[in-house]
Amino acid sequence: MRSADPAGAPVALISGANRGTGLAIAQELHHRGYRVAGLNRTLIGEDWMYEVPCDLGEAATVDTAVSQVLAHFGRLDVCVTNAVDRTFASIAEMDPADWDRAVAVNLTSVFRIVRASLPAIRAARGSYVIIGSHAGTRFFEGGASYSATKGALKALVETLLLEERAHEVRATLVSPGAIANEYGDESPYKMATESVARCVGAIVQDQPSDLVIGDIEIRPALLQGPGISGIDRLQHV
């Protein structure tokens, strides 16, 4: 758990920053001058990232991990919740334990991260970026736990924005379509993780002072043909 960035630089906390979109967001904010903290289930040992081991499915560990980040840096300017549990099964066949974990990781951990970090974000007049999904409004067979938890983030973020604008805190729900999160995935019908990260970087650093971005949807530029079902359908809207 190390940080080589200069003291006094703004601090960004990202959950699930060890791979895929989360890692790309962490790298983007680091390049933009932020000191970066990651709440990661698996640590990657990068010198520029202060990593705190955290299983977001375990509620008590979330509060402890956020407190550790705040104690280390003494401030927090940006918080990005990105970690996700994706378990796909029909409602008839879904294991209740899988449902419970999806709710814990995708929804409850977001609430707990926000609640634990809010005093510091208020002090910095900072911002939250909550990574949602097209699946929160576009449903598909086998996606009950994923869609339900992502859909609930809309209510959480909108309420956070309403409650905290008096404290000059910003909150944005980013709902992406298909992202090439897996190594080697070069599908032209998916967004690169770096592209999503650039969008997040612009949201936290380039917003005009007289507006807030409450909800933004991003999609792949290209569309594939019809005739698909399940989660693959999300790539075609």
Over the range 157-177, which residues count as b (16 or more CB within 10 Å of their CB) and which as e? Answer: beebbeebeeeebbbbbbbbb
The more confidently predicted of residues 5 and 197 is 197
Residue 115 lies in a domain: yes
Domain count of the fold of the chain: 1
Range of the domain at 184: 11-236
- Summarize the confidence of residues 209-216 as an average pLDDT: 93
Buried b or exposed e, range 192-203, using 16+ CB within 10 angstroms: bbebbbebbbeb
CATH code for the domain in which residue 49 is found: 3.40.50.720
As a whole number, mean pLDDT of residues 202-220 equals 94
Q: What pLDDT score does 2 carry?
A: 41
pLDDT at 227 over 80: no
Edge to edge, what strands does the sheet with 78-81 contain? 49-53, 35-40, 11-15, 78-81, 127-131, 170-176, 215-218
Residue 232 counted as domain residue: yes
Q: Can you give the pLDDT at residue 229? A: 66
Decide if pLDDT at 176 tops 70: yes
Find how far residue 34's CA is from the centre of its chain: 17
3 occurs within a structural domain: no
Q: Is residue 2 part of a domain?
A: no
Residue 187, pLDDT score: 86
| Token code pair at residue 74 | 């003494």
C-alpha span between 2 and 145 (Å, rounded): 36
pLDDT for 1 equals 40
* Each residue's pLDDT tens digit, 80-117: 999 999 999 999 999 999 999 999 999 999 999 999 99
In tens, the pLDDT along 27-85 reads: 999 999 999 999 999 999 999 999 999 999 998 899 999 999 999 999 999 999 999 99
Q: What type of residue is 17?
A: A
Statement: residue 236 has pLDDT above 60:
no
Tokens of 212: 């807030």
Average confidence (pLDDT) over 192-202: 97
pTM of the entire predicted model: 0.92
User: Is 90 exceeded by the pLDDT of residue 185?
Assistant: no
Q: Is residue 1 part of a domain?
A: no
Measure the CA–CA gap between 32 and 202, rounded to whole angstroms.
10
Q: Is residue 133 part of a domain?
A: yes
Amino acid 7: pLDDT: 76
Question: Which pLDDT score is estimated for 4?
Answer: 47
What local confidence, expressed as pLDDT, does residue 44 receive?
94
In a domain, 4, yes or no: no
> Would you say residue 5 lies in a domain?
no
Residue 186 confidence (pLDDT):
84
Average model confidence (pLDDT) across the chain = 92
Q: Report percent pLDDT > 70 for the chain.
A: 92
